[in-house]
Structure 1
């Protein structure tokens, strides 16, 4: 109990079922600083990935991943600053909150892009590339239409996008076994 009383100022109350989480002032500051701190390394890392790419396909993939990473930190930083310091501008805050959620979908898709584009993962990988980006678009439309209304559906979108590329691993293993058996028979 003493621990809870000592750190009470860092904690907030639970979010209502269909309401938005209300961070404390300390959480706002931590979100702003940690996200802003990572913008420059994301830009530098993206530039290095692009520069170290060997061919056009790798350059495009590095660009997609780099843009997703940079957008994530930039949009999230702006949202947290507006939410912390300009919360009286409800329309602006709401807009940036939606953008923050939307960019998460695109970052998930962008983070799978190098893995799905640059490795031989079997026939399922080509379908998974499209599925991930369609899920990102679907998540964006969902956020635009139903922002903060059905949190379980939003969680389902995030989890589906996060775990569905694991199906490619089963396809990759099967594809590798077929190649191995074929090479052993010849």
Structure 2
């Protein structure tokens, strides 16, 4: 099989990989497919909320989840069909990178807001947003300059708050959190495999969608579907 139609040659570290037409289409489709489910899922959490903290957490988490798929789809569409508009593409690419930090912080929000935390761990509720702010600022000033550093920043922000969650007195849902995190980590292999594996970025998208789906299920099942008197909170 001729792979030229499905994968371009790998590029040097200081240049951006240019997907083929098929890869562009796959990159768009693999996240566009999840926009409506993410919006519907966010609405479910909102309607199942019983107080202001649950509603706030549902709104923040839903905004992060939906924004991830919406911004990613918009960027890949612009990159595919409007790549000649360099400034527009660059802007969407920055937004695509920035929203990942917001998504990570939003994914932790329900756990940090609705579960009982220790006196030190409770600081993670605001610290995770400080980390997201630093991450977005880094993208604004150093976008695409130090790609390895970007990957390290995403990994640290994804893993560090989990150490707090693992110390929660109520442990239900942790297996799902670890499983979702494992999909994100495994997906990074494909995130860095453009030009080596055909449709590598689209495969990365599917790993992200699977990890997000597992985390959504855990949030719905253990924080919203159960009666409020069975959910440990520190509100």
Which category of TM-score, normalised to the shorter sequence, fits these structures? 0.7 to 0.9
1:69 pairs with 2:58: no
Q: Which has the higher helix share?
A: 1
Farther-moved stretch of structure 1 (161-170 vs 66-75): 161-170
Where in structure 2 are the equivalents of 1:32-111 lying within 5 Å?
Answer: 32-111=28-107
* CA distance in 2 between partners of 1:101 and 1:42 (Å): 19
Task: Name which one, 1 or 2, has greater alpha-carbon Rg.
Answer: 1
8 Å Cα contact 2:79/2:89 also seen in 1: yes
Alignment gaps of 5+ in structure 2 = 170-235
* CA distance in 2 between partners of 1:63 and 1:48 (Å): 11
Could you list the runs of 4 or more consecutive aligned residues of structure 1 that deviate by over 3 angstroms after TM superposition?
Answer: 5-8, 169-173
- Cα deviation, 1:17-68, whole Å, max 9, x if unaligned, reads 1222322221210111121111111111111110001111000000000001
Alignment gaps of 5+ in structure 1 = 174-186
Farther-moved stretch of structure 1 (114-123 vs 73-82): 114-123
Q: Which residue of 2 aligns with 1:165?
A: 161
Q: CA deviation at 1:167?
A: 2.1
Residue-pair matches, total: 169
Farther-moved stretch of structure 1 (19-28 vs 134-143): 19-28
8 Å Cα contact 2:111/2:165 also seen in 1: no
3-state secondary structure, aligned to 1:172: coil
Higher relative contact order (CA 8 A, sep 6+): 2
* CA distance in 1 between partners of 2:35 and 2:86 (Å): 25
Q: CA deviation at 1:120?
A: 1.1
8 Å Cα contact 1:31/1:80 also seen in 2: yes
Q: CA deviation at 1:169?
A: 4.2
* CA distance in 1 between partners of 2:15 and 2:43 (Å): 39
TM-score, reference length from structure 1? 0.85
Q: Which residue of 2 aligns with 1:20?
A: 16
* CA distance in 1 between partners of 2:100 and 2:45 (Å): 21
Change (3 A) 1:120 1:94: same
RMSD (Å) for aligned C-alpha atoms: 1.5
Change (3 A) 1:163 1:61: same
